[in-house]
Structure 1
């Protein structure tokens, strides 16, 4: 089944060129199927790249999904075309009286900014609080996951001695979880962050389950016991070249970054990166949508 997105969204042409089935709004209107309504709060400065990454993952499912993009009203992004934002993004005030099957909150390059000093922190808190009653299940990614864990449970972040950048092995701790159906016991995933959380802080919160972790970066994937919130600290949505672009960006800034771990063959940046996380990424999003959204969300999402 296809993913339903606006006809003129740039990702449409990109996904079609990759032989991914997308459906225009006009065609979807003529099908008697209720799509899953998924809202994406895109906090990344690279809006279009992040759109493409997430839509690739959401498209790999037999479900029809209607995707809408949300932006913050309290902070205007500096590195994206204004026309693009006006054409394809909405604000919280425009959706606050609606209900959604799923919500995805992306990461943001804010590792060293105290949460209360983030320009849009109050607005983000309002959205996360609203999601408790208006969203069936929410997936938080990287900084979005750290922010969600801090907001909902007061879990603090800890700074690493050096940036965690590369492809690391992660261990499935709860093999019976439907989120990991089809996963190997150990799976590779890109990590790109300067901060994380401690397992002992997670253990203090009875509403949280730690279901995957990594030796290098600690807790990797967590969920609430009611499955309404998922917190993913790795980047299984990353493209093959995302870590490379980040590495070259930091290198050009004179930050002397380490070569991303286990990413280039022989740790040689002149060689093409090897993707070892694509299947896990497809499974993560497909399983979340199927088992935690589609299978349990009511047909009339506005009448729960």
Structure 2
């Protein structure tokens, strides 16, 4: 089944070229079906790239999904046209009286700041509090995962000696958990961050379960015991070339950036990276939508 998005969204043409089943809102209204309503709080600077990455994944399941985008009003985005935000993004005040089956809160390149120093932290905290009663399950990515661990469970982040950037092996702790159903015992995933969270604090927290971790980069997939919150500390949604683009961006800023680990073939930046995490990415999003959104959400919100 398709994802339902605005027929004017720029990503729609790319998705159609990639054979992702897309349905615009006009055709969706003609179908007698209860679609899932998913809202994406997109905190990434290059919003159109993130839109495309996430829509690919949400459009690859048997479920029909209505997609809405949410933006912060206390922060001005510099890397996207205001007209794009005005056309395709809603404000929290516009949606706070609605309920959603699922929500995605993305990462953001602001790890050097304490959470309370982020200019939209109070607004984000209000949104995260709102999700407790108005969203069935929330998927938090990278900085979004760290923010959720801090706000909901009191687990802070700490700075790393240098940026983690590359592709790393991860081990599944319990393959019977539905979120990782079908995963290989060991799988690869991208990371790109300057901070980390404590594995021990997660393991010792009564409301959390560590589903996957890496010997090299620590905790990866964390889930609350009630499955209300799922935290992914890396970037499974990344395209094959995203880390290369970030590496080039860091170099252009004059940063002392290391080549992403286990990424370029033969560590040659002139070689095109291969996507070795795509299948597990689709599997995780499919499992989340099926087991933790579709199977859990009420048919009619009361």
The reply to whether residue 195 of structure 1 matches residue 165 of structure 2 is no
Counterpart of 2:209 in structure 1 is 209
Taking the aligned partners of 2:112 and 2:257, their CA distance within structure 1 comes to 17
- Paired position in structure 2 for 1:40: 40
Q: Whole-Å Cα distance in 1 between the matches of residues 15 and 91 of structure 2? A: 25
1:38 is displaced (CA, Å) by 0.2
> What corresponds to 1:8 in structure 2?
8
Match of residue 248 from structure 2: 248
Matches within 5 A, 1:56-67: 56-67=56-67
Partner of 1:21: 21
Whole-angstrom CA distance in 1 between matches of 2:204 and 2:174: 18
Provide the aligned length of Structure 1 versus Structure 2.
Answer: 302
1:283 paired residue number: 283
2: CA distance between counterparts of 1:176 and 1:211?
10
How far residue 37 of structure 1 moved from its aligned partner, in angstroms, is: 0.2
Residue by residue over 1:220-269, the C-alpha shift from the partner in whole angstroms, topping out at 9 and shown as x without a partner, is 01000000100000111000110000001111112121111111110100
C-alpha separation between the residues in 1 aligned to 2:120 and 2:210?
28
Per-residue deviation, 1:205: 1.4
Residues 1-304 of structure 1 mapped to structure 2, 5 A cutoff? 1-300=1-300, 302-303=301-302
Equivalent-residue separation in structure 1 for 2:203 and 2:264 (angstroms): 35
Report which stretch shifted further, 73-82 or 54-63: 73-82
* Aligned-residue offset at 1:161: 1.1
The 1-side partners of 2:18 and 2:169 are apart by 28
Partners in 1 of 2:182 and 2:200 — Cα distance?
A: 29
Unmatched 5+ residue regions in structure 2?
A: none
Distance 1:270 1:203 in 2: 41
Counterparts of 1:215 and 1:111 in 2: how far apart (Å)? 22
- Write out per-residue CA displacement over residues 201-231 of structure 1, whole angstroms, 9 at most, x where no aligned residue: 1133100001100111111010000001000
CA RMSD in angstroms, aligned pairs only: 0.7
Higher mean Cα deviation, 71-80 or 85-94? Answer: 71-80
**TM-score for both structures, normalised by structure 2:** 0.99
Q: 1:199 offset after TM fit, Å?
A: 1.2
CA distance in structure 2 between the aligned counterparts of 1:204 and 1:96, rounded to whole angstroms: 33
Cα distance in 2 for partners of 1:214, 1:289 equals: 24
